[in-house]
Amino acid sequence: MGFFNLTKTYSGDIPPRSTTATYTSVSAFRDACYQLVSAFLITYITFSGLLSMDPNTYLAQMGVISIIIVICRIWDGINDPIMGWIIEKFHFKWGKYKPWIFMGALINSAVVLTLFLAHPQGNDGWDYVILFGVFYFLWDIAWTINDIAYWSMLPSLTSDEAKRNNITSIMQIFISIGIFAVYGAVPLLVGNPTAGSDAQQVYGRIAVVVTLLYLISQVVLCIVAKEHVRGQAIEKKEQEDVKFSDMFTLFKKNDQFRINIISIFLNYLASGTLVAFAMYYCYLVFGYGSTKGGSISFMLTVMYAISTLISQVLYAIFAKKFTRKQIYSIAGLFIIAGYLLFFFTGFPIFGFILAVNMPWLIYIGALLLFFGQGLVSVAIIVQMQSTIEYNELHTGERKEAIVSSMRALVAKWASAVQQGLIYATLAICGLYALTTTISDYENTLHAGLDASEAFEAMETALSSASNPQFIGLGIGMIIVPLILIVLAIFMCTKVFKIDEKKYAEITEQLKARK
C-alpha cells in the first residue's frame, strides 16, 4: 500500500521518487488532451464538414467560432486568477492541489468527448456552432481547475533550484512527448483514404483514446503523489490574508514577476502561432490528406519532437556551463536562422515554393527554430519559479497558486490573440474559400455519398491559390512570430534581473530567516 498516498505529505527539499516520477510523467497525457482541443478542435471544425456548405455561411460561422474562442480566452483572464485564489483559500483533507486536479480532470473529460463526438446537423451547421459555444466555455472552466492546481504544485515540491530545474526539464520532456503523440497521430490518421472513415469518425476515436488516458493519469497522480507539508505559520498567514485583489496586486508590486509574465506571453504567442498555422499551411500548400499535407505535417511534428526533446534534455547540461542569458543568446541564433530558412523556402518569395519539391528545407528550418524555442520555454519557466522566492523575500508569502494562475492566464490570452491572427490572416488572404472545399468533401464522405466531384472541386481550388495569398500566410505564420520571440528574449536578457547569483542570494536570506 506504499504507493497509495492520497493524504500523505513529505518534508524537506527532496521529493519522493514516486512523487517526482508521477508528477512529471502525467504531463504527457495532460498536454496531449489539451493540444487535442487547443490545436485540433478548430481544424476539426474547419475541415470535417460540420458547418455549412455555402461559402458565405461557412465564413460567417468560422467568424462566430473565432469570436467565441477569443471571448472564452479573455474570460480566462478572470477565471484563471480566481482559480488560483480559490486554491490558496480553500484546502481539503487530502491535499491543497490534488482535489482540484481530480475534479478538473473529471469535468474536462466529459466536455472534450462531447465536443468531438456530438454532431448536430440542423440549421445548416448553426446547431454545432451553438453546441461549440456552450461546451467550449465549459472546457475553459474545467481545464483551468485542473491546470492551475497542477502547475501550482510544481514550485511547492522543492525550493532547491537545481532539483527544481531537473523536475522542470523532465516535465518538459514528457510534455513534448504528449504533444508529439497528438500532432503525429492526427495528420497521419485524418484524410487517410485507406482508413475507410471520414474525418468526424477519426477525430472521435482519437478523442476517446486521449481523454481516457488523460483521466486515468490524473487519478494515478492523486493516488500516488505526495504533497509537500506546509509550514503552519505560512499556511495560516496565507489562509487569513489572501484576498481577491492579490491576483492583481501581485502583478503590480512584483516587478520581476511582471517582466517574466510579459516574456511568457510573447513566447507563447510566438511559438503557438506557427504551430497553429501548421495544418492549414500543409493542406493548402501540399494538398489535403494523410499522404499529402498530412505527411508533411507529420514530418514537421517529428522535427518538433526531436529538436525540442534534445533541447530540453540538454538544458540541464547547458545550465551548468552557461548562464541563463547565454542560453537565451544561443537559443535566439537557432530561432532566427530557423524562421528565416522556413520563410524563404516554404513560401513563394522568389515566385515559387522551393519546399514543394524539396520539403527537407523546411524540415531543417523547423529543426533549428524548435530547438531554440525548447531552450527558451524551459528557461522562462525556471525564471517564473524564481519570482516565487523573490515574492516570499519581500512579502513573506510565496503565492504559488497565484503565480501559476498568471502563467495559465497569459497562455490563454496568447491563444486568443493567435486565433484572431489566424482568422484575420486566412480571411484577408481569401484562404477560407479553399478550406470550404475540403469541408464540403468531408461532408460528402460522412453522408456516404459519391465524393468524386467534391474531391475534384477541392483539388482544383487548392491548385488555384496565388503567390500573394501564400506570402500573406507566410507573414502571419513566420514573420510575426519571429518578431515576438525576439522581443521575449530581449525582455529575459536585458530587463529581468534575477539571475543565478541573485537567486542564490535570495534563497540564502530566506533560509537565514527560518
Domain CATH code at residue 359: 1.20.1250.20
Residue 120 domain-assigned?
yes
Residue 15 has pLDDT above 80, yes or no: yes
Residue 196 has pLDDT above 70, yes or no: no
**For 190-292, where are the alpha helices, taking DSSP H only?**
199-224, 232-241, 246-253, 255-286
Provide the CB-side half-sphere exposure for 18 (13 A, CA): 17
Domain ranges, residue 335: 19-228+236-513
Output the pLDDT for position 237: 47
Q: Dihedral (C-alpha) 177, 180, 185, 186: value to the nearest 10 degrees?
A: 130
Give the pLDDT mean for 335-340.
Answer: 97
What is the average pLDDT value for the chain, to the nearest integer? 86
Residue 346 has pLDDT above 80, yes or no: yes
Residue 9 domain-assigned?
no
Strand partners, 443: none
d(CA 362, CA 276): 16
Confidence at 243, pLDDT banded by 50, 70, 90: low
Provide the CB-side half-sphere exposure for 96 (13 A, CA): 25
Give the pLDDT mean for 336-343.
Answer: 97
Residue 221 domain-assigned?
yes
Confidence at 1, pLDDT banded by 50, 70, 90: very low
Output the pLDDT for position 68: 95
- pLDDT tens-digit profile of 62-117? 999 999 999 988 887 777 767 777 877 777 777 888 899 999 999 999 999 999 99
Strand partners, 95: 92
How many residues are present in the chain?
Answer: 514
Residue 180 domain-assigned?
yes
Residue 235 has pLDDT above 60, yes or no: no
Residue 41 has pLDDT above 90, yes or no: yes
Residue 233 has pLDDT above 70, yes or no: no
Output the pLDDT for position 231: 58
Give the pLDDT mean for 289-295.
Answer: 85
Matching residue, cell 483551468: 144
Output the pLDDT for position 239: 47
Q: Which of the residue ranges 230-234, 293-297, 314-318, 467-471 has the most confident prediction, judged by mean pLDDT?
A: 467-471
Q: What DSSP string describes 15-71? A: --HHHHHHHHHTHHHHHHHHHHHHTTHHHHHHHTT-S-SSHHHHHHHHHHHHHHHHH
Residue 5 domain-assigned?
no
Q: Which of the residue ranges 16-25, 287-296, 429-438, 474-483 has the most confident prediction, judged by mean pLDDT?
A: 474-483
Residue 118 domain-assigned?
yes
Confidence at 482, pLDDT banded by 50, 70, 90: very high
Residue 11 domain-assigned?
no
Of the candidate ranges 3-7, 335-339, 379-383, 477-481, the one whose mean pLDDT is the lowest: 3-7
Of the candidate ranges 116-130, 240-254, 294-308, the one whose mean pLDDT is the lowest: 240-254
Q: How many distinct structural domains can be found in the chain?
A: 1
56 vs 454, higher pLDDT: 56
Reduced to 3 states, what is the DSSP secondary structure of residue 92?
A: strand
d(CA 391, CA 246): 12
Q: What percent of the chain has pLDDT over 90?
A: 43
Provide the CB-side half-sphere exposure for 190 (13 A, CA): 34
Residue 313 domain-assigned?
yes
Output the pLDDT for position 288: 87
Of the candidate ranges 119-133, 149-163, 368-382, the one whose mean pLDDT is the lowest: 149-163
